[in-house]
Chain A
Amino acid sequence: MVNQSEELVIKLQQGDQSGFTAVVELYKDMVYNTAVGIVQNADDADDITQEVFVQVYLSINTFKGESKLSTWLYRITISKALDHEKKKKRKKRFGFVQSIFGNQENESVYPVEFNHPGVQLEKKEKASELFKALKQLPDKQRIAFTLHKLEGQSHQEIAEIMNTSLYAVESLMGRAKNNLRKVLHNYYNEKFSDK
């Protein structure tokens, strides 16, 4: 029996436009939410979401079906989001050169504060501080934490997405939480000593 995502893959590989529309409708929130959790900017996440689906459309024939379609989409999203961040860092580094040549397109490389739209109103401030701390984690820890907390993925699913072992994901999650605690502890400590 062919499940929904396999059916969609077959349709896409046959060039069926309705299949592509269905894939976008089915996975757009998943892709966008993952991207926004990593890059912490709504416009950038929207751009990444578009790039992900363009790549899906163009390279669906390379999808062998060894993993789930959602796993493949997560991998593309993570890769695109991390690439996007690297490009932004590079742009920031060469911002001075760009300003000499009069290219003022990207003045703000990182927003000061990020508010995830899915956070409950009373938790907004705390969540904003959490996202700020999250930025300081190494990529793998950040990805594991984002997939777990924002996408509600189990450790086993994260292991499949990140192409690693369950033990490695548990270790990443443990280190991510410890590092977050340290960063947040320092942040609150400074905040209260300033007062």
Chain B
Amino acid sequence: MNKNDHINQLVDDAINSADNIKRAEPKPYLLTRIRARLDHPKETLWEKTGWFVGRPVFAIPILAILIVTNFMVIAFNRPAPVATVTEQLAQGSDEFSLSVSSIYDIENTEP
């Protein structure tokens, strides 16, 4: 018998190995397990999502990211420095000559 014939024989044997196969049977107490499943149905998608999000491995990094983001928002959104406000006031007072207090001051600009 050459190699090809031998392989063909093995192929036939493999295909025929499923002939007269007996039915496989489930583990005992199947009905009890089914009833348990009926009494306690599987979690819904939302319940699963809640469980997933609530796990420490997920919740702690998310909490940390939130805290860091909060600190960053606070740090980058501080009120404008006082100097800038003073500068703006000075500019405004120059424009409207707020520092001029009398006619004498206008006429005598020289010291």
Contact = CB atoms under 8 A, between A and B. Distances in A.
B18 A46 contact: no
Contact of B15 (A42, A119, A181, A188): A181
A180 B15 contact: yes
Contact of A49 (B8, B10, B14, B30): B30
Interface stretch (B19-27, B82-90, B97-105): B19-27
A101 B51 CA distance: 13
A123 B15 CA distance: 10
A188 B11 CA distance: 8
A109 interface: no
B26 A119 contact: no
B38 interface: yes
Given A54-B37, A57-B38, A150 B21 contact: yes
Interface in B1-51: 3, 6-8, 10-11, 13-15, 17-27, 30-31, 33-34, 37-38
Interface residues of B, number: 29
B58 interface: yes
Interface string A102-132: 1000000000000011111001001101100
A130 B33 contact: no
Contacts of A36: 24
A184 B39 CA distance: 45
A54 B38 contact: yes
A71 interface: no
A180 B17 CA distance: 13
A14 interface: no
Interface of B: 3, 6-8, 10-11, 13-15, 17-27, 30-31, 33-34, 37-38, 55, 57-58
